Amino acid sequence: MVTVKLAATVDGRIAAPDGTSRWITGELARERAHAERAQLDAIVVGTGTVAADDPALTARRPDGAPYPHQPVRIVLGERELPPDARVLTGPGEARLVRGHDPRAALAAAGDAVNVQVEGGSTVIGAFLDTGLVDRVQAYIAPVLLGAGLSALTVPGVGTLADALRLRLESVERLGDDVLLTMVR
Ligand SMILES: NC(=O)c1ccc[n+]([C@@H]2O[C@H](COP(=O)([O-])OP(=O)(O)OC[C@H]3O[C@@H](n4cnc5c(N)ncnc54)[C@H](OP(=O)(O)O)[C@@H]3O)[C@@H](O)[C@H]2O)c1
C-alpha cells in the first residue's frame, strides 16, 4: 500500500516561493501525521526535501518522545546528504537510494507493506507518474499562498478528461485543517 501524504494550502501549495513549508497545517494535523507515521513500515522523501527542510522523519508524540515503532526512512536522489542531516540520525534506520526511480525506493523498503511518500513535489509526481500510488492523504489548511510549490510536479495533463480522479474515502476535521483520504 503506497500512500502519498502532503500538507497543502487550499490553493494546492506545499511550500512558499522561498521554500518554507513549516508549518502550513496546525498542531492537531501534525500530531495526527506523526501518529500515522508510527503505523508505517517505510517513509520515502527526495533529496530536495532533506536539503530544504532537514526533516527528522521520525514518529514522535506531542511531547517529542519517539513512538516505539519507527518506519524506515528512505531518501531518493543522486546528491550526497550532509553527514549531519537529521534523517540520518535515529531512532530507526535510514536508507539512501541513488537515482530517480520510485521502484528502487520501494525495493529498498524490502518487505514493507505500508509505505508513505512524504514529498516533495518532484518525488510525489514521480510516484504518481509511475502509477504506484494507492492512496493520498491530503492535510489541507485554510491558508492561501497564491504562489509557491504545487503539491506535485508531473509531466501534467493538458485536458481535464486526463486528470487522475481519486475516490474520496473520508473527510476529517483536525482543528482548522481538513484531512482528505482518497484512494484510486
Ligand atoms: N508541505 C508538504 O507536505 C511538504 C512535504 C515535503 C516537502 N515539502 C517542500 O517541498 C520542497 C522540496 O520539493 P522538491 O520537489 O525539490 O523535493 P523532493 O521531491 O523531495 O526532491 C527532489 C530531488 O530528488 C531527486 N529525485 C528523486 N527522484 C526523482 C525523480 N523521479 N525525478 C527527478 N528528481 C528526483 C532529485 O535530486 P538529486 O539531484 O539528488 O537527484 C530532485 O531534485 C521544499 O520546499 C519542502 O519544504 C513540502
The answer to whether the CB of 137 is under 6 A from ligand 1 is: no
The reply to whether ligand 1 has any atom less than 6 angstroms from the CB of 79 is yes
- Classify the phi-psi angles of 112: left when phi > 0, otherwise alpha if psi is within -120 to 50, otherwise beta: beta
Dump pLDDT digits (tens) for 113-139: 999 999 999 999 999 999 999 999 999
Mean of all residue pLDDT scores within the chain? 96
Predicted local confidence at residue 155, as pLDDT: 74
Distance from the CA of 23 to the center of ligand 1, in angstroms?
A: 17
Distance 71 CA to ligand 1 centre (A): 19
* pLDDT of amino acid 153: 84
For 27-37, what is each residue's pLDDT tens digit? Answer: 999 999 999 99
SS3 129: helix
pLDDT band at 102 (very low <50, low <70, confident <90, very high): very high
pLDDT at 174: 98
